[in-house]
Amino acid sequence: MNLIKTPIEVRYQETDQMGVVYHANYLIWFEIGRTKLIESLGFAYTDMEKENVVSPVIDIHIAYKSPIRYGDDVYIETWLEKYDGIRTVYGYKVSGSDGIEAVTGTTKHVIVNKETFKPLSLRRSFPSWHQAYKKLIEGTNHGIRN
């Protein structure tokens, strides 16, 4: 599996009264990991947006396993879980420097026209992006830069 590992700085404002990272902040960390994965392939969401296209989340699954606290060294691993030319599923694992898995999850995305929200095919709209994802799913893309 080709993945990218991104360090995350746990900020004090991300914690709750129990001293652990508030659950919704993991979704922000998922986005950070997803963006880094996309950038590692040589692409950027801003390129998509210049074409009046956005990529909304249409499904999220998240499992909380162990708390992360302010001051912890944290990493998010991100990979392409599934891709069919229309829908993209990213996988995530958040862990501390000790390797203990804290959170796992997936997000499912499509691309749509920004004005109409009409679904588009990544395969047709962004062929080079499609090819990179196809290679990543097949395990033949070793172009990921950590």
Active site residues: 16
- Please tell me the distance from the alpha carbon of residue 3 to that of residue 20, in angstroms, as a whole number: 26
Give, in degrees to the nearest 5, the angle at Cα 74 between 37 and 140: 30
User: Three-state SS for 41?
Assistant: coil
Phi, then psi, of 89 in degrees rounded to 5: -115, 125
**Closest to 47 in 3D by CA, of 126, 123, 124, 118:** 126
- Please tell me the distance from the alpha carbon of residue 144 to that of residue 79, in angstroms, as a whole number: 10
